[in-house]
Amino acid sequence: MAHPATAVFERHLLIYRSLWRTTAFSFFLVPILYLVSIGLGVGDYVGSVDGFSYLDWIAPGLLATLAFQIGVSSSTYAVFVDFAWVGGLYVMRNTRVRITDMLVGWFAFVLVVLGIAVSVFLLVAAAFGAVHSIWTLLAPLVCALLAVACTAVVAAFSATIRSDSYFPLLFRFAVVPTTLFSGVYFPVAAMPEYLQPLAYALPLWHGVELVRATMLGTTPAWPVAAHLGVLTAYLIVGFVLARQAFRKRLVD
Amino acid sequence: MTTDSVVHASGLVKRYGDNTAVDGIDLDIAGGETFGLLGPNGAGKTTTMHMVSCISRPTGGTLRVLGMDPLADEVGIRSRMGICGQADRLDQELTVRENLVTYARYFGMSRALSRQRADEQAEFVQLADRANDRVDTLSGGMKRRLSIARAMINNPDLVILDEPTTGLDPQARHLLWERLYRLKQRGVTLLLSTHYMDEAEQLCDRIAVMDLGKVVAVGSPRELIAAHAGPHVVELRFGDDPVEQYRDKVEGIGDRVDVLPERLLVYAADGEAAAAQVHQRGLTPSGVLIRRSTLEDVFFRLTGRTLVE
């Protein structure tokens, strides 16, 4: 018998088929524009960082940011609307689909979108000579963990709020600071010391460190297991919170 | 509890904080029966149906659905149940067939079986020629039919329909009734809620009238009319005069008198005789209408005429 989570995954793919254009530009093209404009433009002023050209150095950071952004933005309006307006999750509830299936099917779908975006980005990065190590093959896995962890946390958020006016706040106070303080554009060590722990608490920094290590063949700031551990903790907490938030909406 | 009950509830309670939505109801719905819940908004119909569909967990009492405990065997019950809620909740950008196939897949059916069931169900609700059209191109009546087709995808033994025809035009309602009647003929048990008396009378073998979280009467439409309204109603109008002043003057005629803003209703075993008595007392109503009692008379009798909001 087909697993109900598979059916959930298939529904999202079907819907995506008619909606993919709405996210194609921001997921597939914008990251490349950043790579070119900041990597080449700003890089011209910066010179090199840690012995790599600036473009090579920020390419992994931009890739991790891409994973972070896909993880976050996939589960904002899409989850909110599926409760508030479309009601697709209430429809699933009337079948054999359990809340865990809803989440697993959704995460699997987010990973498909991520997979496409990461592949496109890596091909372009390779064309610019920004890929320095065979370990780059592991970068998509790191991106997957980062994206799922973030998408789980945001799904919990989106299932909890009752008005979509909270999303601008999420972007202003969580997403933007995260992308600015996670060592994407400059090393965290360049920040004042009292600000550095902020980066350690953010999932993106751990993703940036790991992706940068894979693409440049360097060693990350912390042991690999520690970085993975923080991301896994985000994933577990996000999953538990999302399940609770979904249950609260779907069962009384 | 009768062993062949598809739904059995005794002393069923649902509370939200201090608010009691369902206040100790007893229900027994037999296999193959079409059972209606009738009542004003806030009577507890939807909450009752949510408990039967394992969406809402009872606060107290016993509930068995298809012989199973909704708290313990949710998936077992869902596999044999079809739920059609008040809202259609269709995926607008998918086609009719895609909506049906997706729903079939939610039950774990193979791709081939899902496609087969989708086509059968589209056929059943007369949407086969629209199977490849996106849902956002369908009319309201078609969307409702699609929701019902979807609820039937797993060949359920019990189908739950929350106000299935609200908002539909008369043609769409009649088509829907006819489809529901076919389900009934197949032996499917139907539990539905409605605001429409004609719908309840047309479709339901038995009706439970609910008010303020309680079941105030149960029976077939005919039984309810006999028990709570009597065979005839005489409607008396007195031009623009306030009718309240005529209340005492018709007292004793028939079994009971109801005062409405613009007319008096006299419930009587023999409408002709009651109307004759009115004239014998020297009253000259501007309008006299003798009619059979309807479920609507029962409804107002049991749940009152005041708007509770």
Among the partner-chain residues A10, A88, A98, the one whose CB lies closest to the CB of B89 is: A88
Select from A18, A91, A96 the Cβ nearest to the Cβ of B79.
A96
Please report where in the chains the tokens 């958020």 appear, as a residue: A157
Instruction: Determine, for residues A7 and B85 on separate chains, whether the beta-carbon distance falls below 8 Å.
Output: no
**pLDDT of B307 higher than 80:** no
CA distance A181 to A205: 8
* pLDDT value of residue B3: 55
Contact A2, B110 (CB under 8 A): yes
Instruction: Indicate the burial class of B170 (C-beta count within 10 angstroms; 0-12, 13-18, 19 or more).
Output: exposed
pLDDT for residue A26: 85
Instruction: Give B309's pLDDT tier (boundaries 50, 70, 90).
Output: low
Percent of chain B's residues with pLDDT above 90 = 74
pLDDT of residue B44: 94
Q: Give pLDDT, residue B260.
A: 86
Whether A7 sits inside 8 A of B94 (CB atoms) is no
Chain B residues touching A3 at Cβ < 8 A: 108
pTM score: 0.92
Closest of B58, B50, B73, B49 to residue B20, by C-alpha: B58
* B158-162 and B81-84 strand pairing: parallel
Residue B192: CB partners within 8 Å, gap ≥ 6? Answer: B34, B35, B36, B37, B160, B161, B162, B163, B164, B180, B203, B204
φ, ψ for residue A162, nearest 5 deg: -110, 0
Residue B2 has pLDDT above 80, yes or no: no
pLDDT tens track for B66-102: 999 999 999 999 999 999 999 999 999 999 999 999 9
Which residue pairs, CB below 8 angstroms and at least 24 apart, start in B302-305?
B302/B209, B302/B211, B302/B216, B302/B217, B302/B228, B303/B39, B303/B40, B303/B43, B303/B209, B303/B211, B303/B216, B304/B211, B305/B260
Alpha-carbon gap: A99 to the closest alpha carbon of chain B (Å): 12
* Per-residue tokens: A102: 């809803």
Is A87–B105 a contact, with Cβ atoms under 8 angstroms apart?
A: no
**Whether the predicted pLDDT of B240 surpasses 70:** yes
A90 has a chain B CB within 8 A of its CB = yes
Instruction: Tell me A195's DSSP state.
Output: G
Q: Which of A1, A92, A251 sits opposite B55 (nearest CB)?
A: A251
Residues of chain B found within 8 Å of residue A97, distances taken between Cβ atoms: 106
Q: Using a CB–CB cutoff of 8 Å, tell me whether A8 touches chain B.
A: yes
pLDDT of residue A121: 96
pLDDT for position B261: 83
In angstroms, the CA A109 to CA A112 distance is 5
Please tell me the predicted confidence (pLDDT) of residue A78. Answer: 95
Indicate the residue type of B286.
S
Q: Identify the pLDDT of residue B1.
A: 46
Using an 8 Å CB-CB cutoff, list chain B residues near A95.
78, 103, 106-107, 154
Q: Residue B92 and residue A86: Cβ atoms within 8 Å?
A: yes
Can you give the pLDDT at residue B308? Answer: 56
pLDDT band at B306 (very low <50, low <70, confident <90, very high): low
Inter-chain touch A15–B57, beta carbons under 8 Å: no
Which SS3 state, helix, strand or coil, does residue B95 take?
Answer: strand
With H, G, I as helix, E, B as strand and everything else as coil, classify residue B9: strand
What number is the average pLDDT over the span B147-160? 96
What is the count of residue pairs from A and B with beta carbons less than 8 Å apart?
Answer: 76
Distance from the Cα of residue A68 to its chain's centroid = 2
Asked if the C-beta of A21 comes within 8 angstroms of chain B's C-beta atoms, the answer is: no
Instruction: Please give chain A's pLDDT, 252 residues, in tens.
Output: 789 999 999 999 999 998 888 888 888 888 889 999 999 889 989 889 989 999 999 999 999 999 999 999 999 999 999 999 999 999 999 999 999 999 999 999 999 999 999 999 999 999 999 999 999 999 999 999 999 999 999 999 999 999 999 999 999 999 999 999 999 999 999 999 999 999 999 999 999 999 999 999 999 999 999 999 999 999 999 999 999 999 999 998
Token pair for B134 = 């996106």
Confirm or reject contact between A99 and chain B (CB < 8 A).
Answer: no
